[in-house]
A and B are shown apart, each in its own frame.
Chain A
Protein backbone atom coordinates (compact mmCIF):
# COMPACT_ATOMS: atom_id res chain seq x y z
CA UNK A 1 0.00 0.00 0.00
CA UNK A 2 2.81 2.39 0.93
CA UNK A 3 4.66 1.48 -2.25
CA UNK A 4 1.52 2.00 -4.26
CA UNK A 5 1.04 5.47 -2.76
CA UNK A 6 4.66 6.28 -3.46
CA UNK A 7 4.33 5.12 -7.04
CA UNK A 8 1.47 7.61 -7.36
CA UNK A 9 3.91 10.32 -6.35
CA UNK A 10 2.87 10.79 -2.71
CA UNK A 11 5.58 11.16 -0.12
CA UNK A 12 4.55 8.63 2.50
CA UNK A 13 6.69 7.60 5.46
CA UNK A 14 4.92 4.87 7.41
CA UNK A 15 1.59 3.40 6.45
CA UNK A 16 -0.56 0.84 8.19
CA UNK A 17 -4.06 -0.47 7.75
CA UNK A 18 -6.09 -0.86 10.90
CA UNK A 19 -9.61 -1.92 11.69
CA UNK A 20 -12.49 0.25 12.78
CA UNK A 21 -15.51 -1.32 14.45
CA UNK A 22 -18.60 0.84 14.87
CA UNK A 23 -20.84 -0.35 17.67
CA UNK A 24 -24.24 0.89 18.78
CA UNK A 25 -24.71 0.23 22.48
CA UNK A 26 -27.38 1.27 24.93
CA UNK A 27 -25.89 2.71 28.08
CA UNK A 28 -26.91 5.20 30.74
CA UNK A 29 -23.63 7.08 30.61
CA UNK A 30 -20.63 7.29 28.33
CA UNK A 31 -18.56 5.73 31.12
CA UNK A 32 -20.87 2.73 31.15
CA UNK A 33 -20.70 2.51 27.35
CA UNK A 34 -16.93 2.64 27.46
CA UNK A 35 -16.81 -0.12 30.07
CA UNK A 36 -19.02 -2.35 27.91
CA UNK A 37 -16.92 -1.79 24.80
CA UNK A 38 -13.72 -2.30 26.76
CA UNK A 39 -14.93 -5.76 27.73
CA UNK A 40 -15.90 -6.51 24.12
CA UNK A 41 -12.41 -5.56 23.00
CA UNK A 42 -10.76 -7.71 25.63
CA UNK A 43 -12.92 -10.75 25.00
CA UNK A 44 -13.25 -10.73 21.22
CA UNK A 45 -12.59 -7.63 19.16
CA UNK A 46 -8.87 -7.39 19.87
CA UNK A 47 -6.30 -10.07 20.55
CA UNK A 48 -4.11 -8.53 23.24
CA UNK A 49 -1.08 -10.59 22.16
CA UNK A 50 -0.92 -8.90 18.77
CA UNK A 51 -3.28 -5.95 18.81
CA UNK A 52 -4.00 -2.79 20.76
CA UNK A 53 -7.20 -0.78 20.70
CA UNK A 54 -8.59 2.67 21.34
CA UNK A 55 -12.19 3.45 22.15
CA UNK A 56 -13.98 6.63 21.08
CA UNK A 57 -17.47 7.30 22.36
CA UNK A 58 -19.89 9.37 20.34
CA UNK A 59 -22.96 10.18 22.39
CA UNK A 60 -26.40 10.04 20.87
CA UNK A 61 -28.40 11.26 23.83
CA UNK A 62 -31.76 9.92 22.81
Chain B
Protein backbone atom coordinates (compact mmCIF):
# COMPACT_ATOMS: atom_id res chain seq x y z
CA UNK B 1 0.00 0.00 0.00
CA UNK B 2 1.74 3.13 -1.19
CA UNK B 3 1.43 6.27 0.91
CA UNK B 4 1.99 9.69 -0.64
CA UNK B 5 1.81 12.99 1.21
CA UNK B 6 -1.94 13.62 1.12
CA UNK B 7 -3.06 10.00 0.74
CA UNK B 8 -5.94 9.41 3.13
CA UNK B 9 -7.52 6.04 2.35
CA UNK B 10 -4.49 3.86 2.90
CA UNK B 11 -5.55 2.71 6.36
CA UNK B 12 -9.10 1.83 5.33
CA UNK B 13 -7.76 -0.06 2.34
CA UNK B 14 -5.08 -1.83 4.37
CA UNK B 15 -7.67 -2.76 6.98
CA UNK B 16 -10.06 -4.11 4.33
CA UNK B 17 -7.32 -6.16 2.68
CA UNK B 18 -6.24 -7.42 6.09
CA UNK B 19 -9.78 -8.55 6.82
CA UNK B 20 -9.63 -10.49 3.55
CA UNK B 21 -6.47 -12.29 4.59
CA UNK B 22 -3.75 -10.06 3.14
CA UNK B 23 -0.78 -8.63 5.01
CA UNK B 24 -0.94 -5.03 3.76
CA UNK B 25 2.13 -2.96 4.51
CA UNK B 26 2.30 0.80 4.11
CA UNK B 27 5.15 1.98 1.88
CA UNK B 28 6.18 5.64 1.97
CA UNK B 29 6.48 7.38 -1.39
CA UNK B 30 10.14 8.24 -0.92
CA UNK B 31 11.15 4.57 -0.68
CA UNK B 32 12.77 3.18 -3.79
CA UNK B 33 12.01 -0.49 -3.32
CA UNK B 34 8.88 -2.50 -2.61
CA UNK B 35 8.94 -4.91 0.33
CA UNK B 36 10.26 -8.40 -0.35
CA UNK B 37 7.48 -10.80 -1.34
CA UNK B 38 5.21 -8.06 -2.60
CA UNK B 39 2.24 -9.78 -4.18
CA UNK B 40 0.35 -6.70 -5.31
CA UNK B 41 0.64 -2.93 -5.16
CA UNK B 42 -2.25 -0.64 -4.24
CA UNK B 43 -2.27 3.13 -4.78
CA UNK B 44 -4.92 4.44 -2.38
CA UNK B 45 -7.27 7.39 -2.56
CA UNK B 46 -6.59 10.84 -1.24
CA UNK B 47 -5.06 14.06 -2.48
CA UNK B 48 -1.44 13.18 -3.17
CA UNK B 49 0.79 16.27 -3.07
CA UNK B 50 -2.30 18.40 -2.54
CA UNK B 51 -3.54 17.72 -6.08
CA UNK B 52 -1.10 20.38 -7.30
CA UNK B 53 -0.76 20.80 -11.07
CA UNK B 54 -3.28 18.02 -11.82
CA UNK B 55 -4.59 15.24 -9.58
CA UNK B 56 -1.97 12.53 -9.50
CA UNK B 57 0.51 14.38 -11.71
CA UNK B 58 3.24 14.96 -9.14
CA UNK B 59 3.05 11.46 -7.70
CA UNK B 60 4.10 9.91 -10.97
CA UNK B 61 7.70 10.94 -10.33
CA UNK B 62 7.80 9.81 -6.67
CA UNK B 63 10.77 7.69 -5.64
CA UNK B 64 8.73 4.52 -5.29
CA UNK B 65 7.19 4.77 -8.75
CA UNK B 66 10.24 3.32 -10.49
CA UNK B 67 9.79 0.14 -8.49
CA UNK B 68 6.06 0.17 -9.23
CA UNK B 69 6.72 0.47 -12.96
CA UNK B 70 9.16 -2.42 -12.81
CA UNK B 71 6.68 -4.51 -10.79
CA UNK B 72 3.92 -3.74 -13.32
CA UNK B 73 6.20 -4.47 -16.26
CA UNK B 74 6.86 -7.97 -14.98
CA UNK B 75 3.15 -8.67 -14.58
CA UNK B 76 2.59 -7.79 -10.92
CA UNK B 77 -0.97 -6.79 -10.02
CA UNK B 78 -1.28 -3.03 -9.49
CA UNK B 79 -4.52 -1.38 -8.39
CA UNK B 80 -5.23 2.34 -8.22
CA UNK B 81 -8.27 3.51 -6.29
CA UNK B 82 -9.57 7.05 -6.85
CA UNK B 83 -6.47 9.26 -6.51
CA UNK B 84 -4.47 6.08 -7.15
CA UNK B 85 -6.34 5.73 -10.44
CA UNK B 86 -5.53 9.34 -11.27
CA UNK B 87 -1.85 8.69 -10.51
CA UNK B 88 -1.73 5.62 -12.75
CA UNK B 89 -3.33 7.59 -15.60
CA UNK B 90 -0.90 10.46 -15.14
CA UNK B 91 1.96 7.95 -15.03
CA UNK B 92 0.56 6.62 -18.31
CA UNK B 93 0.35 3.16 -16.86
CA UNK B 94 -3.40 3.36 -17.54
CA UNK B 95 -5.20 4.90 -20.51
CA UNK B 96 -7.26 8.08 -20.35
CA UNK B 97 -7.38 10.97 -17.92
CA UNK B 98 -9.62 12.10 -15.08
CA UNK B 99 -11.34 15.47 -15.47
CA UNK B 100 -13.44 17.62 -13.18
CA UNK B 101 -16.87 16.08 -12.70
CA UNK B 102 -19.25 17.28 -15.37
CA UNK B 103 -21.43 19.18 -12.90
CA UNK B 104 -18.35 20.64 -11.16
CA UNK B 105 -19.55 19.24 -7.85
CA UNK B 106 -17.87 16.80 -5.51
CA UNK B 107 -19.83 13.53 -5.66
CA UNK B 108 -19.97 11.55 -2.42
CA UNK B 109 -22.50 8.74 -2.31
CA UNK B 110 -23.14 5.07 -3.02
CA UNK B 111 -23.38 4.32 -6.72
CA UNK B 112 -24.28 1.27 -8.73
CA UNK B 113 -21.48 -0.02 -10.90
CA UNK B 114 -21.69 -2.77 -13.46
CA UNK B 115 -19.03 -5.41 -14.08
CA UNK B 116 -18.31 -5.41 -17.81
CA UNK B 117 -15.54 -8.01 -17.78
CA UNK B 118 -14.90 -10.70 -15.23
CA UNK B 119 -11.53 -11.76 -16.65
CA UNK B 120 -9.45 -9.40 -14.49
CA UNK B 121 -7.94 -9.91 -11.05
CA UNK B 122 -10.33 -7.33 -9.63
CA UNK B 123 -13.51 -8.84 -11.02
CA UNK B 124 -12.60 -12.52 -10.92
CA UNK B 125 -15.11 -13.18 -8.14
CA UNK B 126 -17.90 -11.32 -9.97
CA UNK B 127 -20.12 -12.23 -12.88
CA UNK B 128 -20.22 -10.26 -16.08
CA UNK B 129 -23.17 -7.87 -15.89
CA UNK B 130 -23.31 -8.04 -12.10
CA UNK B 131 -24.22 -4.78 -10.39
CA UNK B 132 -22.32 -3.71 -7.27
CA UNK B 133 -23.08 -0.98 -4.75
CA UNK B 134 -19.89 0.92 -3.96
CA UNK B 135 -19.36 4.52 -2.82
CA UNK B 136 -17.59 7.24 -4.77
CA UNK B 137 -16.15 10.43 -3.32
CA UNK B 138 -14.37 12.58 -5.85
CA UNK B 139 -14.33 15.95 -7.55
CA UNK B 140 -12.17 14.95 -10.51
CA UNK B 141 -13.48 11.54 -11.48
CA UNK B 142 -14.84 12.07 -14.93
CA UNK B 143 -12.81 9.63 -16.97
CA UNK B 144 -11.97 10.89 -20.44
CA UNK B 145 -10.66 9.36 -23.63
CA UNK B 146 -11.13 10.71 -27.13
CA UNK B 147 -13.33 8.78 -29.52
CA UNK B 148 -10.49 6.90 -31.13
CA UNK B 149 -8.91 5.78 -27.86
CA UNK B 150 -12.30 4.94 -26.38
CA UNK B 151 -13.08 2.72 -29.38
CA UNK B 152 -9.77 0.90 -29.07
CA UNK B 153 -10.20 0.31 -25.33
CA UNK B 154 -13.77 -0.91 -25.72
CA UNK B 155 -12.71 -3.24 -28.50
CA UNK B 156 -9.86 -4.62 -26.38
CA UNK B 157 -12.12 -5.19 -23.37
CA UNK B 158 -10.18 -2.73 -21.20
CA UNK B 159 -13.24 -0.86 -19.90
CA UNK B 160 -13.95 -3.19 -17.02
CA UNK B 161 -16.42 -1.25 -14.86
CA UNK B 162 -19.15 1.23 -15.75
CA UNK B 163 -21.50 3.29 -13.65
CA UNK B 164 -25.01 1.87 -13.93
CA UNK B 165 -26.34 5.37 -13.20
CA UNK B 166 -25.37 8.94 -13.97
CA UNK B 167 -22.38 9.75 -11.78
CA UNK B 168 -19.84 12.26 -13.03
CA UNK B 169 -19.97 12.56 -16.80
CA UNK B 170 -17.35 9.91 -17.58
CA UNK B 171 -17.14 8.98 -21.25
CA UNK B 172 -19.19 5.82 -21.65
CA UNK B 173 -19.96 5.96 -17.90
CA UNK B 174 -16.60 4.27 -17.40
CA UNK B 175 -15.75 3.71 -13.72
CA UNK B 176 -12.70 1.47 -14.08
CA UNK B 177 -10.14 0.49 -16.71
CA UNK B 178 -7.25 -1.88 -17.13
CA UNK B 179 -4.03 -1.63 -19.10
CA UNK B 180 -3.34 -3.61 -22.22
CA UNK B 181 -1.63 -6.49 -20.42
CA UNK B 182 -4.38 -6.63 -17.81
CA UNK B 183 -2.34 -6.45 -14.60
CA UNK B 184 -2.70 -2.71 -13.96
CA UNK B 185 -6.21 -1.58 -13.01
CA UNK B 186 -7.80 1.59 -11.76
CA UNK B 187 -11.23 2.64 -10.59
CA UNK B 188 -12.81 5.73 -9.08
CA UNK B 189 -15.24 3.98 -6.67
CA UNK B 190 -13.89 2.87 -3.28
CA UNK B 191 -14.25 -0.87 -2.71
CA UNK B 192 -12.39 -0.51 0.62
CA UNK B 193 -15.32 1.52 1.97
CA UNK B 194 -17.80 -1.23 1.10
CA UNK B 195 -16.56 -4.33 2.83
CA UNK B 196 -19.23 -4.69 5.50
CA UNK B 197 -23.03 -4.54 5.15
CA UNK B 198 -23.03 -2.47 8.36
CA UNK B 199 -21.45 0.31 6.32
CA UNK B 200 -24.05 0.05 3.57
CA UNK B 201 -22.58 -2.59 1.29
CA UNK B 202 -20.19 -5.50 1.31
CA UNK B 203 -19.76 -5.54 -2.47
CA UNK B 204 -16.31 -3.99 -2.36
CA UNK B 205 -15.03 -7.14 -0.68
CA UNK B 206 -15.86 -9.07 -3.87
CA UNK B 207 -13.44 -6.87 -5.80
CA UNK B 208 -10.69 -6.74 -3.18
CA UNK B 209 -10.86 -10.49 -2.57
CA UNK B 210 -9.94 -10.94 -6.23
CA UNK B 211 -6.90 -8.73 -5.68
CA UNK B 212 -5.90 -10.77 -2.60
CA UNK B 213 -6.24 -13.97 -4.67
CA UNK B 214 -3.93 -12.54 -7.33
CA UNK B 215 -1.42 -11.34 -4.74
CA UNK B 216 -1.35 -14.72 -3.02
CA UNK B 217 -0.81 -16.51 -6.33
CA UNK B 218 2.08 -14.25 -7.16
CA UNK B 219 3.77 -14.71 -3.78
CA UNK B 220 3.32 -18.48 -3.90
CA UNK B 221 4.65 -18.66 -7.46
CA UNK B 222 7.78 -16.76 -6.43
CA UNK B 223 8.38 -18.78 -3.24
CA UNK B 224 11.27 -21.25 -3.24
CA UNK B 225 10.07 -24.82 -3.35
Segment among B53-61, B117-125, B172-180 that sits at the interface with chain A: B53-61
A20 within 8 A of B: no
Shortest CB-to-CB span from A51 to chain B, Å, is 8
Q: A33 to B90, alpha carbons, bound, how many Å?
A: 25
Which residues from A are CB-within-8-Å of B61? 44
Do A44 and B145 have beta carbons less than 8 Å apart? Answer: no
| CB-based A-B contact count at 8 angstroms | 18
A50 within 8 A of B: yes
Which residues from A are CB-within-8-Å of B97? 47, 49-50
| Cβ contacts A35-55/B at 8 Å (1 or 0 each) | 000000000110101100000
Q: How large is the interface on B (under 10, 10 to 19, 20 to 34, 35 or more residues)?
A: 10 to 19
Which residues from A are CB-within-8-Å of B146? 49
Secondary structure class of chain A's binding surface, majority of residues: loop
Q: Which chain B residues (54-100) contact chain A, with CB distance < 8 Å? A: 54, 57, 60-61, 90, 96-97, 99
Do B57 and A44 have beta carbons less than 8 Å apart? Answer: yes
- Interface on A for B, CB 8 Å cutoff? 44-45, 47, 49-50
Some 18 contacts from A to B, beta carbons below 8 A apart, are A44-B53, A44-B57, A44-B60, A44-B61, A45-B53, A47-B54, A47-B57, A47-B90, A47-B97, A49-B96, A49-B97, A49-B144, A49-B145, A49-B146, A49-B149, A50-B97, A50-B99, A50-B144
